[in-house]
Amino acid sequence: MDKKICTYICTGCGIGEAINIEELSEVVTGEMSQECKTHACLCGTEGKAFLENEQNGEGVNTFNICACSPRVMQKEFDFGDESITVRANLREQVIWTAGTPEEGQEESHQEWLQETASDYIRMSCTRAAKTELPEAFLMESMNKDILVMGGGIAGITAAIEASKAGSKVTIVEKADALGGKALGWAKQFPTSYPYADLEDNSIASMVAAVDADANITVKTGTEVARIGGSPGAFKVSLKAAGATTEWTAPEKVGVDEQDLIDKGEMEDPNAGLKPYGEENPDADTFGAVVLATGWVPADVSEFEHLGYGSNDKVVTNAEFEAMAKNGKLDGINTVAFVMSPGGEENDQDFPYCNSVTSMVALKQAKYVRENNADAKAFILYQHMRTPGHMELFYKGIQEDDGIFLTKATVTGVEDGTVHAKDTLLGEDLDLDVDMVVLAAGMVPTTKVENTINLAYRQGPAFLDLDLFDGYADSHFICFPYETRRTGVYACGGVRKAMNMQETMDDATGAALKAIQCIESADRGVAVHPRSGDKTFPEFFMQRCTQCKRCTEECPFGALDDDEKGTPLPNPTRCRRCGTCMGACPERIIGFKDYNIDLIGSMIKAIEVPEEDDDKLRILIFACENDAYPALDMAGMRKHKLNHMIRFIPVRCLGSVNMAWIRDALSAGLDGAMLIGCKYGDDYQCHFVKGSEIANTRMENIGDTLSTLGLEPERVRSEQVAITDYDKVPDLVNDFVDEIVELGANPFKGF
């Protein structure tokens, strides 16, 4: 595209009053050699008409809008697929965070305000000049069918809902029949007001609906052997349940293990299996995958004082359900439901217990009472969780004189006696019962086995499952259903413990996400969180040293590699986070609108004044997912930011290439900070690992700076949540104070 660039400075929202617009325009027309126009309100009716004429009359196709934050007015400044828009944030990050000058400081306040605005304009002019129009990656052939793994309530619901939306679906279920755990239920929770009575199990009618649906193919006694390919073209090999075939995905073998295998000291777990990249020519093709393999009951035998495994009177909730289903409750007239393992000073629940196990105890207490009106149930809990309408169910149970509920610490079970202390009755209890039921938790299948079997370079399973206790998820807060493998959407027990109604809602969501992913792949655009983004990483392979950093660090397994280590991109798996770009030491990965040269040139466009302690320059890379919006909101609240800071938004901290930091400090900037999402146990990074990876890189660059004679304290990585808008100004202002303490960068002027 032949670019016709013009910069538009909006003088509305107080920008015109705060900044000398004439001087600012001269920066554009003089230093930056670009055309510049001003308008009183670019987003208003007249402003839009003005810009429309600029596009259609004057032929402008690259708009540098210098006004409000790029996070707002996106529709107003969208000029279509054949035009480029870049933004300079003069409102939120210059005038709204400027504060008011102290008495006698008016002149210097005005001076630095002008300098700050000029730097943002320089950067946006550079960005406009360097940005290229993206072209979507379009697949040669596209399959829109959906594979559903698991034929329980989640899988059945996902299949039915996807079918209703017009998709063809195949359900793969390893058991001999559809239905999953629900086949073993005697009754199910109430689903309608007054939420008092248990309902007949509806799984048979759900299975019948699948059988009657011409869009749905069912393969029972079958498992996935291997999934290769990518959204729009997943290549799925199936196998008989429990069998191993040559297409079963190889396990990831570490360097040490490989050494032992090579020496013949360890058996090769992948002997006889095809390497990860090799496709099965007979594989079925699907557009997306719904992972609905559910959960398995947790092992409770570790709690020896409760006697499970050694005392016949102690069973799990799953075993008790089977007894109820098979009509084997006669003669069992007193039952204790133990919901927490207790022991000494322990108020924790059984592992993987949750609201569903609370409700199951209530349901099973009702079985006891419905079987025999004189029977009694004792529910001993530490935490009773009955969300939503289930609170009414709980209340109904409380009103039953034959069901006793108390908070209690169970100290042991001997024969048919349950010993408990710290009860709500204020006294210790010794309950003589016919049966003791332990609330075994619900462990996601992804925790115990790898059912997904990906033929990906990064291994057959989801990485870092331990971050989420084995649940298949990529971001609890923002992106339910999305796993760390694009195009694979999790629902039901594999994602979170949930009851039947919740599972059905969840499965519907996952089915819609699968359809959305297929449609996005068809249009060549990204899925969440950069939905609609047409760019994808491009590699200048001639300079690739096959170091494998990009393939190893991609959080989504989007990059395979060949035997030499040359990356093999799978564009429809890519979420466009740029982590590969940040990883590449050769700087050969980039996007049309976001690359090493583009951001590097923006950094160089910042004017670095000669040594002057009041004119230091501190660069902050702010992740556009949480940090940048938090900074914008700080601006909306008129929190003051130090005038020496310059922000550059980044897709993810993982995309920050350390070359930018080195270049910034070599160019004389005095400090650099990265602000991104939280990582660790409660991580919120929108690209799973990006902020953590960036932190590690920053630790390493600190060492590099020391060898250059620069203080490592000049670089820092911080984490914030989007709600930290009141804290983030202190975070950055304190960093500026520390840099001021250190003094100017000694490289300044060289």
| Residue ranges that bind ligand SF4, judged by CB under 6 A | 537, 539, 544-550, 554, 556, 558-559, 567, 574-580, 583-584, 586, 588-589
Q: Which residues contact 719 (CB under 8 A, 6 or more apart)?
A: 675, 676, 677, 678, 679, 691
Alpha carbons 424 and 500: distance in angstroms, whole number = 31
Smallest distance from the beta carbon of 401 to ligand SF4, in angstroms?
59
In the complex, the smallest distance separating the C-beta of residue 689 from ligand SF4, rounded to whole angstroms, is 9
The minimum distance between CB 400 and ligand SF4, in angstroms, equals 54
Please say which residue, 498 or 580, places its beta carbon nearer to ligand SF4. 580
255: tokens are 């360097």
Cα–Cα distance measured from residue 29 to residue 23, given in angstroms and rounded to the nearest whole number:
10
The answer to whether 82 and 4 are in contact (CB under 8 A) is: no
Measured from the CB atom, the residue of 385 and 530 that comes closer to ligand SF4 is 530
Which secondary structure element, helix H or strand E, spans residue 358, and what is its range?
helix 355-371
Residue nearer to ligand SF4 on the CB measure, 319 or 586: 586
CA distance 481 to 498: 13
Would you say the C-alpha torsion 687, 691, 694, 700 has a positive or negative sign? negative
CB of 581 to ligand SF4, least distance (A): 7
Pick 502 or 692: Cβ nearer ligand SF4: 692
Do residues 297 and 439 lie in contact, with contact meaning Cβ atoms separated by under 8 Å?
Answer: no
Element (H, E) at 225: strand 222-230
> Cα-atom radius of gyration of the chain, to the nearest Å?
31
Complex with ligand SF4: residue 230 or 382, whichever CB lies closer: 230
Residue with the two structure tokens 């914030």: 720
Q: How far apart are CA 284 and CA 217, in angstroms?
A: 13
CA distance 653 to 509: 29
For ligand SF4, which is the closer residue by CB, 539 or 735?
539
H helices within 144-229, ranges in order?
A: 153-164, 203-211
Q: Are strands 62-67 and 84-89 parallel, antiparallel or unpaired?
A: parallel
Q: Which residues are CB-contacts of 130 (< 8 A; sequence separation ≥ 6)?
A: 595, 597, 598, 601
Residue 45 beta carbon to ligand SF4: minimum distance, rounded to whole angstroms:
39
Q: Which residue lies nearer to ligand SF4 by CB, 329 or 455?
A: 455
Count the residues in the chain: 750
- Rounded distance, CA 467 to CA 248, Å? 26
Rounded CA gap, 655 and 174, in Å? 40
**H/E/C letters for each residue in 648-665?**
EEECCHHHCCHHHHHHHH
Question: Nearer to ligand SF4 by C-beta: 588 or 605?
Answer: 588
Q: Is 305 exposed, middle or buried (0-12, 13-18, 19+ CB in 10 A)?
A: middle
Report whether 603 contacts 135 (CB < 8 A): no
Please report how close the Cβ of residue 580 comes to ligand SF4 at its closest, in angstroms: 3
Q: Give me the amino acid identity at 717.
A: S
Residue 235 CB, shortest distance to ligand SF4, in Å, is 19
Nearer to ligand SF4, 109 or 252 (CB): 252
- Least separation in angstroms between residue 551's CB and ligand SF4 is 6
CB of 472 to ligand SF4, least distance (A): 18
Residue 144 or 484 having the CB closest to ligand SF4: 484
**417-421/429-432 β-pairing:** antiparallel
| Cβ at position 545, least distance to ligand SF4 in Å | 5
Helix (H) or strand (E) holding 111: helix 106-130
Least CB distance to ligand SF4 at residue 1 (A): 23
> Hey, is 39 helix, strand or coil?
strand
Torsion of CA 390, 394, 399, 405, to 10 degrees: 180
Closest to ligand SF4 by CB, 4 vs 548, is 548
Nearer to ligand SF4, 515 or 583 (CB): 583
- Per the DSSP assignment, residues forming a β-bridge with 70 are none
Q: How far apart are CA 403 and CA 335, in angstroms?
A: 10
| Pairing mode of beta strands 409-414, 417-421 | antiparallel
Shortest distance (Å) from residue 552 CB to ligand SF4? 9
CB of 695 to ligand SF4, least distance (A): 16
569 or 635: CB nearest ligand SF4: 569
Note whether 742 and 714 are within 8 A (CB): yes
Q: Which is nearer to ligand SF4, 44 or 277 (CB)?
A: 277
CB proximity list for 641: less than 8 A, separation 6 or greater = 93, 97, 631, 634, 635, 729, 732, 733
Residues 6+ apart with CB under 8 A from 586: 543, 544, 545, 547
Write down the least CB distance from residue 530 to ligand SF4, Å: 9
Shortest separation between residue 556's beta carbon and ligand SF4, angstroms: 4
As measured in angstroms, the least distance from the Cβ of 446 to ligand SF4 is 21
Contacts of 505 (CB under 8 A, 6+ apart): none
Nearer to ligand SF4, 333 or 566 (CB): 566
**Measured from the CB of residue 83, what is the shortest distance to ligand SF4 in angstroms?**
24
Q: Which is nearer to ligand SF4, 487 or 567 (CB)?
A: 567
CB of 590 to ligand SF4, least distance (A): 10
Three-class DSSP labels, 360-404: HHHHHHHHHHHHCCCCEEEEEECCCCCCCCHHHHHHHHHCCCCEE
Nearer to ligand SF4 by Cβ, of 364 and 655: the residue is: 655
Q: 26 or 464, CB closer to ligand SF4?
A: 464
Query: What pairing do the DSSP bridges indicate for beta strands 435-438 and 314-316?
Result: parallel
First and final C-alpha spacing in the chain: 38
